[in-house]
């Protein structure tokens, strides 16, 4: 029997983008200067090592997001308990839209995501910090 998907990724993206703030690169560049903003990079560590990262951003892979946001989780991260605005980004803006919606659904606020993701940031001339691969043991 073949699985029938009733709500594809496009429907989920449309729903996320309708419910959360999408910020332009220019707006995120300005916001990043504020101590009241956390830029959350949800890309895989291999992407970050390959492409670099937005200076000062906080890395939280998409797979750990819910666990790191929830203070009741044994994996909860204190940064998500701070009174700040959280701007999520990925490579192109798809995963970050879903991540920002999930974060908002969990009660984290305010949240937004970077339209066009890291690619838009880099193409607009945004600063990029090189990340060295972690040495394997």
Give residue-wise pLDDT tens across range 55-112.
Answer: 999 999 999 999 999 999 999 999 999 999 999 999 999 999 999 999 999 999 999 9
Q: Is residue 131 part of a domain?
A: no
Among 21, 4, 6, which Cα is nearest to 96's? 21
Neighbours of 77 (CB within 10 A): 16
Residue pLDDT, tens place only, 5-28: 888 999 999 999 999 999 999 999
Q: Is residue 98 part of a domain?
A: yes
Kindly report the CATH number assigned to the domain that includes residue 68: 3.40.250.10
Q: Is residue 129 part of a domain?
A: no
| Full residue range of the structural domain in which residue 61 is found | 21-123
Helices (H), 20-136: 25-31, 45-51, 65-69, 94-105, 117-123
pLDDT grade for 137, boundaries at 50, 70 and 90: low
Domains of the chain: total: 1
Q: Is residue 3 part of a domain?
A: no
pTM of structure: 0.93
Query: Which SS3 state, helix, strand or coil, does residue 88 take?
Result: strand
Q: Is residue 26 part of a domain?
A: yes
- Would you say the C-alpha torsion 129, 37, 23, 67 has a positive or negative sign? positive
Q: Is residue 14 part of a domain?
A: no
Strands 21-23, 37-41: pairing is unpaired
């Amino acid at each position: 029997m073949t699985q029938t998907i009733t709500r594809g990724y496009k429907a989920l993206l449309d729903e996320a983008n309708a419910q959360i703030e999408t910020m332009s690169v220019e707006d995120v560049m300005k916001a990043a200067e504020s101590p009241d903003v956390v830029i959350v990079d949800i890309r895989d560590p291999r992407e970050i090592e390959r492409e670099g990262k937005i200076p000062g951003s906080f890395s939280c892979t998409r797979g750990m997001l819910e666990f790191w946001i929830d203070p009741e989780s044994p994996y909860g991260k204190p940064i998500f308990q701070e009174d700040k605005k959280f701007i999520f980004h990925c490579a192109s803006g798809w995963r970050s839209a879903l991540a920002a919606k999930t974060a908002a659904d969990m009660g984290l606020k305010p949240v937004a995501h970077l339209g066009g993701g890291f690619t838009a940031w880099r193409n607009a001339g945004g600063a990029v910090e090189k990340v060295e691969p972690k040495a394997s043991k």
